[in-house]
A and B are shown apart, each in its own frame.
Chain A
Amino acid sequence: MTVEKTYEEINARIKRGEAVVVTAEEVIDYVAENGYEKAVQEIDVVTTGTFGPMCSSGAFLNFGHSRPRIKMKKVWLNGVEAYGGLAAVDAYIGAAQLPDFDPENKVFPGRFTYGGGHVIHDLVAGKEIRLEAIAYGTDCYPNKKVDTIITIDDLNEAYIFNPRNAYQNYNCAVNLGDRILYTYMGILKPRLGNASYSTSGQLSPLLNDPYYKTIGIGTRIFLGGGTGYVAWNGTQHHPNVLRGENGVPQVPAGTLAVIGDLKQMTPDWLVGLSFIGYGATMAVGIGIPIPILNEEILRYTLVKDEDIFCPIVDYNEGYPYSKPIDLGFANFKELKSGRIKINDKEVITTPQSSYPRARKIATILKEWIQRGEFELSRPVAMLPSADANIEFKSIPERSPSEIFLNGRNRRG
């Protein structure tokens, strides 16, 4: 007997408080104990989670007007510039933005103590933030300067819009060189001194729905401790890559753009990070529910750490200079065990993304659904999947002639 469930049926059970919800870890044992048939009939939802550094994150803010009104040209929050090239009092604060006065890597390795991710963390924690803005002044917006203190409650709107989150699989970073490297994958000790990886493996959202059969545009998700939505595919979404027999990509593949109201999020799940020698960023908590519509969808959620492989990549020359250096693959079970073998050398492995926090997210989302507080939404459109023909492009090398300078001559 083949089981087909609809979103409506699952939501009806959620509303009655009867839905059977398990996490992406629990589902593995559930099926082992009860078998496929029973599991596909009984389980309504499998919840996933991930919590790690996601640089392509940020928030749109609307400050309301000053008196007299201002059309902000440049905006700073606690000294960190937010992009103001939008309507008068709108701005976008990016997680990786640094304060203008940051010494960066001038004294190497830089410390990057504070950045856009920390601003967002402070905002969502309800802390006071210094808002500075300058303007050139117009007839409709005469004010030229604002310097004040705000909290998130003073804002009209504050919503997260992250262009690229929840990477489906990621590199395991190592260092084949002779000097210590400071990277977005953390500190990499020379001569294969350590290996650093970053995804939540069997709990990771897009590894549990490898072909994006339920996760699409409009999917309601756990975002930063509140609810959010998948807005689009993320930047660098590249689904047509090498995949295993289980459908799971073996290299970085799909990504998600997500959106959600910052005002109902919490500082536990949006945390500013400082990567020495690299920069500032933000850890984002994302959890995605997967409706068990049929046996195929269930089968994808049974993916285990040992079935997920990621490429081992050298960050001395391989990654920065795009040199093809083949170091093979590692599976997540090995990575989590703390040691992998590379070129016959035993290498200690540690994560960048927090597995305990990912588990917590999947559990919180499960409880929300069990309590009837969180219903599933059917995607309004699907994401490009493995059959897409997306080409991964790089910046072309061309020589701009004078007419391209600064856009000055563009309009004659």
Chain B
Amino acid sequence: MKNRVVCYFSAIQTEQPVVYRLIKNYDLIINILKADINPQKEGYLVVEMEGEKDKYEGGIAFLKNLGIIVEPLSETVLWQEDICIQCGACASFCPTESLSIDRDSMLVSFENSKCVVCGMCLDCCPTRAIKLHFEVKEAV
């Protein structure tokens, strides 16, 4: 199974090689989508975790045992149409064609339902019209 979760850390937990253990002990594929750790070593990590069901659940339990708060991620991609200049650069990077070019009109459009929030499109947009919107709570 594959899921995206937000892990909220406190200072002690960031000392631990959490990601390493998840990979080594639970055989999970970990993709870090966003990390924000403040100078006090508190913050959150948005990760995509993929693996067999029991291993995945074991990994989550491991995180919770460390006192890390794990919550399902509610994130969306915002395409700000008013900022977009319709250049089309993003269409090379979107794996699901949620951002795509109509090759007749060359108009770019965004289909939210197809978006898997992989974040591939974010860096390539020169107007920064695409934003990743994380529902993240204040640091706990």
Contacts and interface: CB of A to CB of B under 8 A. Distances in A.
Nearest to B107: A356
Nearest to A339: B103
B101 to A, nearest CB: 7
Contacts of A351: 87-89, 106
A62 interface: no
Contacts of B123: 109, 187, 276
Given A53-B126, A351-B87, A356-B106, 11 more contacts: A113-B128, A186-B124, A187-B124, A189-B92, A194-B93, A276-B123, A276-B124, A283-B85, A283-B126, A336-B106, A351-B88
Contact of B103 (A275, A283, A337): A337
Nearest to B93: A187
B127 A273 contact: yes
B105 interface: yes
B63 interface: no
Contacts of A283: 85, 87, 126
A51 B124 CA distance: 18
Contacts, number: 71
A168 to B, nearest CB: 20
Contact of B106 (A196, A274, A275, A355): A355
Given A273-B127, A336-B106, A352 B92 contact: no
Nearest to A276: B123
Interface string B60-71: 000000000000
Interface in B77-127: 85-93, 101, 103, 105-108, 123-124, 126-127
A39 B85 CA distance: 33
B92 A275 contact: no
A354 B86 contact: yes
Given A194-B92, A336-B103, A338-B101, A354 B87 contact: yes
A350 interface: yes
13 contacts: A186-B92, A186-B126, A189-B92, A194-B92, A271-B85, A273-B127, A275-B126, A283-B126, A338-B101, A348-B92, A350-B89, A351-B87, A356-B105
A52 interface: yes
A196 B126 contact: no
Interface string A98-112: 000000000001000
A144 interface: no
Contact of B126 (A51, A273, A357): A273
Residues of B in contact with A, size category: 20 to 34
A271 B124 contact: no
Interface of A: 51-53, 109, 113, 186-187, 189, 194, 196, 271-276, 281, 283, 336-338, 348-357
Nearest to B82: A268
A108 B86 CA distance: 27
Contacts of B106: 336, 351, 354-356
Contacts of B91: 338, 348, 350
Given A187-B93, A351-B106, A52 B128 contact: no
Closest 9 CB pairs of A and B: A355-B106, A273-B126, A194-B92, A350-B92, A356-B86, A354-B86, A351-B88, A354-B87, A276-B123
Contacts of A189: 92
A274 B129 CA distance: 11
B97 to A, nearest CB: 11
Contact of A355 (B88, B89, B126): B88
Contacts of A51: 85
A282 to B, nearest CB: 10
Contacts of A274: 126-128
Nearest to B108: A356
Contacts of B86: 354-357
A357 B85 contact: yes
A196 B127 contact: no
Contacts of B107: 356
A354 B105 CA distance: 11
Interface in B18-34: none
